[in-house]
């Protein structure tokens, strides 16, 4: 195989055998599945950049040199064509989009292959092997030999050309293959995942080549913390056009995160209807049903017939994308019931809505917590949930996609709380400061307690020195118990039955007792092998076993201790719980050792 990095800097020799320059780049024609090399770029003796037709002048080629079929005076130089891309300039060490893997990668090398006396591009090497080869082919071979000694290989990671999309080049001037899977062909969610990894400048380049509908769908799928930044980079006119296309609830979330002056400017440029809907949504509290609902709902009266409703759906209601349910309202828009599309389709055209309406339905108040709303939709398998005010008037509905976003958000918050990790938008310094006091206080208490225990052991240095060797074991076991308890805490429900708790408690205690016996016997064997006095060995081995049992009991009841009421939340984050358990385990072990030593005698 031929690699670009191996070719660069190698000599270009004419038909007379004279070296006329060194290879600086090669060009490909982009309008093919496996693009063929169309031009050779090289630098002459005076470093003058020159370009030749590959098909017309190249006679032989490999990783070491290129031989031309004409002498220097007979060469006719050419220029880069609009549909051509230079591999070194436009691809090597550049970021590209892997549209198959849905990720942004960096090109470390380019792999080519000879086919019918032509050189064609197979794809981009984005793995470690290409990086090593780019540094030095000798380094690549050395690493490969070392890996071979351990029965391993250094695999290539090749992305085929038809799954590549360029970022750092004006895409409008490049005609890619008709089979080329381009960014604009991806699902908006996949597009959002890719664009989130790009710099603002790179995102702007991509957005230039997408229409407003595609941009609106893509931004709606992006993470909340960057949506406003993306919209703010557009001109006011384009930003307002994009926000008009978006669902009102998504547009309101973005505008709410913009500076006041920018938000007002965009609202004034938006259509009157769209701006009114967004302003109304901005008046609701965050993290409530009103804050995540969309006002775009389809409503009918119970006097209408099935045929009339279907015609309404084909006409005025066709612009509503979320027609999961049709809500039946009375005077002053008071919600009276709901009909599903299924009921509508299977009913006779002349059937009155009053005869098929379902009057018992789930609703949410405008100020209800968004997590409770999402939980209700999940529990009852609802695609949408109507939101009403105190008088029962229909204000909008929460759709299933917004409910899933809420559940994901709450799950991420719970996981961050359990692990003690700072949110993504919090800086590393603020995250450290947020957790630092917990660690400092916990370990300060631990240090003071151990210092006090040292004083107790001062007249028994032999015992203390041996016990100190087992102290890390107690701390490590305590950390494992804390981790196990927090894992149980995440798994358990807020309404866990007493029987389930007792069963888990007995299992954990039984496991702790068995592990304690084994640990104690191992400790006894180790201490006897160290030729320790029988009193010291007995005290320490029994202390180890009882410490393990005590930690198992604490771990079994810890999830219940950490929860607050019936909310299923925990009082402390993982770092604090782990630190306190570590300190507590050490204190229990040392205290038991002291007490048992007194029982067995000094």
Query: For residue 165, what are the β-bridge partners?
Result: 97
Query: For residue 21, what are the β-bridge partners?
Result: 12
Contact 327, 285 (CB under 8 A): no
* Radius of gyration of the chain measured on its C-alpha atoms: 35
User: Whole-structure pTM over 0.85, yes or no?
Assistant: no
Which CATH superfamily groups domain 184-283?
A: MgtE N-terminal domain-like (1.25.60.10)
Q: Tens digit of pLDDT for each residue in 138-151? A: 888 888 888 887 78
Q: Tens digit of pLDDT for each residue in 67-117? A: 999 998 899 998 888 878 899 988 888 877 766 666 677 888 998 888 766
Q: How far apart are the first and last CA of the chain?
A: 77
Question: Where along the chain do its domains lie?
Answer: 2-166, 184-283, 299-413, 428-600
Residue with tokens 């701390």: 475
DSSP annotation of 305: B
* Maximum alpha-carbon separation in the chain: 104
Ranges under pLDDT 70 in the chain:
98-103, 116-117, 162, 165-185, 316-322, 412-501, 504, 530, 532, 558-580, 597-602
Give domain 299-413's CATH number out of 3.40.50.1970, 3.40.50.880, 3.10.580.10, 3.90.1150.10.
3.10.580.10
In order, the DSSP letters of 432-448 are HHHHHHHHHHHHHHHHH
- Sort 17 into a burial class: Cβ within 10 Å, 0-12 / 13-18 / 19+: exposed
Least Cα distance to 542 among 596, 506, 495 occurs for 596
Least Cα distance to 30 among 211, 205, 165 occurs for 165
Strand bridging mode 335-340 / 364-365: unpaired
DSSP annotation of 423: P
CA-to-CA separations, 560 to 16, 279, 438, 495, 502, in angstroms, rounded:
87, 44, 21, 11, 11
Contact 562, 577 (CB under 8 A): yes
pLDDT, position 561? 62
pLDDT, position 431? 42
In order, the DSSP letters of 351-410 are -BHHHH-B-----EETTSBHHHHHHHHHHTT-SEEEEE-TT-BEEEEEEHHHHHHHHHHH
Structure tokens at 112: 């080519």
Contact 473, 543 (CB under 8 A): no
Q: What CATH architecture applies to the domain 428-600?
A: Orthogonal Bundle (1.10)
Contact 198, 167 (CB under 8 A): yes
CA-to-CA separations, 539 to 465, 473, 526, 543, in angstroms, rounded:
14, 16, 13, 6
Strand bridging mode 118-125 / 109-115: antiparallel
Contact 446, 557 (CB under 8 A): no
The residues near 434 (Cβ < 8 Å, ≥ 6 apart) are 422, 426
pLDDT, position 287? 87
pLDDT, position 436? 44
Query: For residue 110, what are the β-bridge partners?
Result: 124
User: How far apart, in whole angstroms, are the C-alpha atoms of residue 358 and residue 340?
Assistant: 9
Least Cα distance to 291 among 299, 301, 281 occurs for 281
CATH of domain 2-166: 2.30.30.240
User: How far apart, in whole angstroms, are the C-alpha atoms of residue 252 and residue 266?
Assistant: 11
User: How far apart, in whole angstroms, are the C-alpha atoms of residue 577 and residue 490?
Assistant: 14
- The 3-class secondary structure across 171-201, one letter per residue, is HHHCCCCCCCCCHHHCCHHHHHHHHCCCCHH
Strand bridging mode 66-68 / 58-61: antiparallel
């Amino acid at each position: 195989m031929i690699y670009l990095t191996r070719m660069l800097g190698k000599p270009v020799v004419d038909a007379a055998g004279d070296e006329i320059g060194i290879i600086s780049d090669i060009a490909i024609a982009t309008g093919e599945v496996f693009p063929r090399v169309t031009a050779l770029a090289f630098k002459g003796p005076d470093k003058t950049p020159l370009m030749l037709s590959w098909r017309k002048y190249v006679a032989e080629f490999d990783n070491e040199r290129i031989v031309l079929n004409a002498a220097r005076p007979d060469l006719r130089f050419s220029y880069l064509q609009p549909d051509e891309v230079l591999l070194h300039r436009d691809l090597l060490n550049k970021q590209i989009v892997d549209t198959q893997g849905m990720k942004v990668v960096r090109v470390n090398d380019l792999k080519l292959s000879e086919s019918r006396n032509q050189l064609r591009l197979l794809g981009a090497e984005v793995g470690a092997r290409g990086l090593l080869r780019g540094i030095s082919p000798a380094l690549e071979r050395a690493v490969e030999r070392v890996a071979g000694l351990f029965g391993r290989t250094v695999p290539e990671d090749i992305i085929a050309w038809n799954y590549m999309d360029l970022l750092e080049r004006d895409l409008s001037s490049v005609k890619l293959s008709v089979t080329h899977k381009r960014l604009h062909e991806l699902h908006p969610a996949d597009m959002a995942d890719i664009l989130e990894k790009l710099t603002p400048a790179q995102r702007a380049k991509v957005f230039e080549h997408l229409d407003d509908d595609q941009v609106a769908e893509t931004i709606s799928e992006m993470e909340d913390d960057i949506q406003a930044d993306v919209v703010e980079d557009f001109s006011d006119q384009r930003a307002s056009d994009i926000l008009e296309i978006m669902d009102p609830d998504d547009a309101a979330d973005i505008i709410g995160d913009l500076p006041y002056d920018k938000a007002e400017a965009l609202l004034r440029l938006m259509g009157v209807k769209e701006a009114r809907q967004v302003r109304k949504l901005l008046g609701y509290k965050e993290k409530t049903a009103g804050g995540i609902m969309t006002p775009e709902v389809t409503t009918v009266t119970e006097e209408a017939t099935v045929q009339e409703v279907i015609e309404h759906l084909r006409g005025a209601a066709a612009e509503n994308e979320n027609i999961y349910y049709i809500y039946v309202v009375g005077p002053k828009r008071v919600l009276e019931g709901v009909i599903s599309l299924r009921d509508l389709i299977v009913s006779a055209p002349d059937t009155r809505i009053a005869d098929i309406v379902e009057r018992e339905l789930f609703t949410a108040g405008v100020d209800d917590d968004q997590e409770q709303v999402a939980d209700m939709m999940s529990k009852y398998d609802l695609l949408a949930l109507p939101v009403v005010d105190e008088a029962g008037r229909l204000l909008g509905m929460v759709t299933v996609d917004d409910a899933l976003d809420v559940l994901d958000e709450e799950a991420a918050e719970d996981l961050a709380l359990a692990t003690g990790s700072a949110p993504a938008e919090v800086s590393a310094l603020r995250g450290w400061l947020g957790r630092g006091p917990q660690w400092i206080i916990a370990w300060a208490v631990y240090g003071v307690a151990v210092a006090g225990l040292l004083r107790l052991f001062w007249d028994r240095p032999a015992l203390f020195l041996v016990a100190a060797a087992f102290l890390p074991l107690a701390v490590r076991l305590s950390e494992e118990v804390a981790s196990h308890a927090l894992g149980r805490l995440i798994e358990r429900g807020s309404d866990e039955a007493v029987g389930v708790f007792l069963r888990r408690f007995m299992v954990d205690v039984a496991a702790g007792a068995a592990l304690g016996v084994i640990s104690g016997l191992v400790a006894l064997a180790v201490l006897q092998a160290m030729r320790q006095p029988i009193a010291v060995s007995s005290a320490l081995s029994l202390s180890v076993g009882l410490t393990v049992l005590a930690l198992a009991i604490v771990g079994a009841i810890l999830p219940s201790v950490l929860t607050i009421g019936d909310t299923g939340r925990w009082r402390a984050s993982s770092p604090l719980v782990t630190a306190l358990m570590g300190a507590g385990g050490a204190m229990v072990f040392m205290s038991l050792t002291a007490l048992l030593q007194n029982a067995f005698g000094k």
